Structure 1
Amino acid sequence: MKLSLKGLFAALLFSVGIGVASSGLAQDIAPINVNSADPELLDELPGIGPSRAAAIIEEREANGDFENIDDLTRVSGIGPATVDRIRDQVAVED
């Protein structure tokens, strides 16, 4: 397979463009408020599937709102590593 310099350059520009576009999107999305989000919204967080989303809501309803992001470890199946992974994507507001 022979790659031309022009083709290689086009592929590089495409890759850079995709990276810039996706990083811009990530910055424009507002954090998800774990004290008011519905299960579908919580399910969008990395490492949080439908069952953990439901568990977040159950914990919130049973024991009150989360006061800080680290309180998410009150939820069974959510540990410090998961909290660190989603820290920039969630908020805790009343």
Structure 2
Amino acid sequence: MKTTLSAVLLGLGLALATPSFAAVDINTADQKALEKLPGVGPAKAKAIIAHRPYKTKEDLKKVDGIGDKTYKVLEPEVTVTAGKSAK
């Protein structure tokens, strides 16, 4: 009984500790949502919006101020929905 309870509590703890987030779609996100990304402020968010539509996440590198280093941080937190764009 103790082992089962410990296993359940461990599983619950891991489930709560695992961050669950939805990737930000760079083709449809508004400026406020883009600003929540690491290293993205108002100017960079506006630049991301101005360069829409994106075919791949790597297209972010075409935005001024987003090089390999910044892209590496952003890549796991963004997604691209093909064919959708909101300017």
TM-score, normalised to structure 1, is 0.67
In the alignment, what sits opposite 2:36?
44
Task: Give the % identical residues.
Answer: 36
* 1:34 maps onto 2:22 in alignment: no
Alpha-carbon distance in structure 1 between the residues aligned to 2:55 and 2:33:
19
RMSD (Å) for aligned C-alpha atoms: 1.8
Residue 82 of structure 1 is matched in structure 2 by 70
Alignment correspondent of 1:70: 58
Q: What is the aligned length?
A: 70
Structure 1 residue 68 displacement after superposition: 1.0
Whose helix proportion is higher, 1 or 2? 1
Please say if residues 70 and 80 of structure 1, whose CA atoms lie closer than 8 Å, have aligned partners that are also in contact: no
What secondary structure does 1:55 align onto?
Answer: helix
Whose Rg is larger?
A: 1
Which amino acid in the other structure matches residue 76 of structure 2? D
Cα distance in structure 2, aligned partners of 1:35 and 1:50:
16
Shift of 1:59: 1.2
Aligned-pair distance for 1:80?
A: 1.2
**Which 4+ stretches in 1 moved above 2 angstroms?**
none
